[in-house]
Amino acid sequence: MNARVARLLPPLAFGLAVLALWEAVVRVLGVPPIILPAPSAIAVRFAGSIPTLAADFWQTIKGVLAGYVVGCGSGFAVAVLIDRSPFLKRGLLPLGNLVSALPVVGVAPIMVMWFGFDWPSKAAVVVVMTFFPMLVNTVAGLSSASAMERDLMKTYAANDWQTLRALRLPAALPFIFNALKINTTLAMIGAIVAEFFGTPIVGMGFRISTEVGRLGIDMVWATIVVAALTGSLFYALVAAVERRATFWHPSYRAKEA
Amino acid sequence: MKSALPILTVILAILAAWYVAAALMNAPLQRDAYANAGRTDYSTPDLIVDSLNMERPKLPGPHQVVVELYRLVFMTPPMSKRSLVYHGIITLQETVIGFLIGAALGIGLAVVIVSVKWLERSMMPWIVASQTVPIIALAPMIVVILYQFNITGIAPKAAIAAYLSFFPITVGMVKGFRSPDPLLLDLMRTYSATRAQTFMKLRAPASAPLFFASMKIGAAAALVGAVVAEVTKSEDGGLGARLLAGSYYGQTVQIWAALFAAAALSAALVGLVGLVGRITERRMGAHP
């Protein structure tokens, strides 16, 4: 416990120092709130707008979660399917890697046109953004079991399905969780940016773009606080599941000792 | 080159699926168009062909996007506001300037972080945590704040590009500078190398693979930043502005053309970084 506190203390102190410095600079130099509101002003605004912020949160999270589940699920399913065909793997993997270099979030206006202003269009953007990282990582993970282990399965007379379930899927878990973690951020980005292109009058991306237009910068910051908290919690949640699911992995085992 | 055939097959399959999807998605619209024109004598092939050549389709056929790209890139005067070259150059400038600034800051911060122990312990968790935050949400606000300081044109977008490429580069470079084997670090100590010498002769060269990996991520992130920034401040042009204009006026073909132009730009930038990386690594004695 003590070691944990010692590890947490420096970053906490650093964060508080940044906040204090920010507050001091804004107050001493009299920075207008249109440019940079003080943290205290943001906190007041945050506390005063909880109903609005909550409504925005629900609107955005619907798109994020729906898209995340469908995108990761289909990426995983396709990976398991093409895993049996080296030909397809050789064809799809370079394309999947290429996609990671592309500004996929640009499909947002198209999805808004296809699926309307409400959350399904945001979910669609998230699906497109999360699909390929999941595909590429799962395919890599499924081939990560060593030849020795595979031979062992053969000596057990395990069929393909049994080998997949007992050996290759568990071995792929670290890769799959890696994609799940990358995708939490991508999902948030996709949903928020898609909201810049059109929403019903609710949602975090909508709030940010309208309040920026009305120069309500404190409200923008309050929304960003919500987005940051949501993103970190989402990530932390997946990381916690990962820790339980892949407790056998050396990166966690080492810490326990 | 062994994978050329599989890749080609997959691309062909995607194109085929695209055509099918386009025909299916546009056919209802085209049927309405026929009904409005009072035509009832159309055959199914007519319907399919016309669905793939609509002016404002739900999903344009690949050939329509290619034609539009060709028209907007080669057949339009490059300095005209309709030309994708004009907008592409704007986006490219923002991306490259932003990327260079973001890379310089990111590498600088990484050097500081690996050299100063207490900074690493207090800052690193925040920088890692920042990776989980959708920092792109800040883009519209940064544009407006910089506008207050009379910073307009490509500078605010370059700032966002810099800011988006900064975090992944910092994280990657910290990892890179820390990648040398502890044995090698001990060896440097037996040579009684100073910290600066250890850094220049061991840590910096050892970081090369992660340097190029994070430069690739940074370049792609910078382009995303530039495009999203252009969406929020679209009067100065750029590919993001074309995306927004297309979505306002329902010009689907134009959206797809802008999207492909952005994708090509991004792939070219990342490819260029990768090429420089491969050449450098070979010069450094890597055996691919």
Q: Give the amino acid at B157.
A: K
Q: Considering only residues 185 to 214 of chain B, which have any Cβ-Cβ distance to chain A shorter than 8 Å? A: none
**Nearest Cα residue in chain A from B5:** A91
Residue B1 has pLDDT above 60, yes or no: no
For residue A1, the model assigns a pLDDT of: 56
Which residues 39-58 of B have a C-beta within 8 angstroms of A?
58
Instruction: Please state the φ and ψ torsions of residue A12, each to the nearest 5 degrees.
Output: -65, -45
Q: Is the pLDDT confidence value at B33 over 60?
A: yes
Q: Judge whether residue A34 has pLDDT over 60.
A: yes
pLDDT in tens, B75-123: 777 777 778 888 888 899 999 999 999 999 999 999 988 888 788 778 8
With cut-offs at 50, 70 and 90, classify the pLDDT of residue A66: very high
Instruction: Specify the pTM.
Output: 0.84
- CA A206 to CA A229: how far, in whole Å? 18
Asked if B126 reaches chain A (Cβ–Cβ under 8 Å), the answer is yes
Q: What is the pLDDT of residue A257?
A: 40
Identify the residue whose tokens are 């689907």.
B252
| More confident call, B242 vs B152 | B242
Q: pLDDT value at position A143?
A: 84
Handedness of CA A80, A85, A90, A95 (dihedral sign): negative
The pLDDT assigned to A130 comes to: 92
The DSSP string of B127-183 is: HHHHTTS-GGGGHHHHHHHHHHTT--THHHHHHHHHHHHHHHHHHHHHHHHT-S-HH
What is the average pLDDT across A34-39?
83
Distance from CA of B283 to the nearest CA of A (A): 25
pLDDT, residue A70, reads 95
Q: Which residues contact A129 (CB under 8 A, 6 or more apart)?
A: A67, A71, A104, A105, A183, A186, A187, A189, A190
B255 touches A: beta carbon within 8 Å: yes
pLDDT of B275 reads 92
Residue B236 has pLDDT above 50, yes or no: yes
Average pLDDT, chain B: 84
Q: What is the pLDDT of residues A235-255, one digit of tens each?
A: 889 988 988 887 777 766 655
Give yes or no for residue A10 having a pLDDT over 50.
yes
Mean pLDDT, chain A, whole residue set:
86
Q: Does the complex come out with an ipTM higher than 0.85?
A: no
CB spacing of A106 vs B259 below 8 angstroms: yes
Which residue in B123, B140, B145 is closest to A14 by CB distance? B123
d(CA A122, CA A71): 12
Mean pLDDT is lowest, of A90-99, A200-209, B74-83, B150-159, for: B74-83
Of A110-119, A153-162, A214-223, B122-131, the least confident: B122-131
Give the pLDDT band (50/70/90) at residue B287: low
Q: Quickly list DSSP for chain A.
A: -HHHHHHHHHHHHHHHHHHHHHHHHHHHHT--TTT---HHHHHHHHHHTHHHHHHHHHHHHHHHHHHHHHHHHHHHHHHHHHTT-HHHHHHHHHHHHHHTTS-GGGGHHHHHHHH-SSHHHHHHHHHHHHHHHHHHHHHHHHT-S-HHHHHHHHHTT--HHHHIIIIIHHHHHHHHHHHHHHHHHHHHHHHHHHHHT--SS-SHHHHHHHHHHTT-HHHHHHHHHHHHHHHHHHHHHHHHHHHHHTTTSHHHHHHH-
pLDDT of residue A226 exceeding 80, the answer is yes
CB B240 within 8 A of CB B156: no
- Predicted confidence at residue A256, as pLDDT, reads 47
Residue B288 binned pLDDT confidence (cut-offs 50, 70, 90): low
Residue-wise pLDDT tens digits, B172-201: 898 888 888 889 889 999 999 888 888 888
Q: What is the mean pLDDT of residues A201-223?
A: 86
Q: Tell me which residue in B124, B129, B220 faces A101 most closely, judged by beta carbons.
A: B220
| More confidently predicted of A253 and A216 | A216
Helix (H) or strand (E) holding B11: helix B4-37
pLDDT value for A253: 63
**Which residues of chain A neighbour B267 with C-beta distances below 8 Å?**
98, 101-102
Answer for the pair B233, B146: CB distance below 8 angstroms, yes or no: no
A31 touches chain B (CB under 8 A): no
A254 touches chain B (CB under 8 A): no
Q: What is the pLDDT of residues A88-119, one digit of tens each?
A: 888 888 888 888 778 888 888 888 888 888 88
Q: What is the pLDDT of residue A252?
A: 67
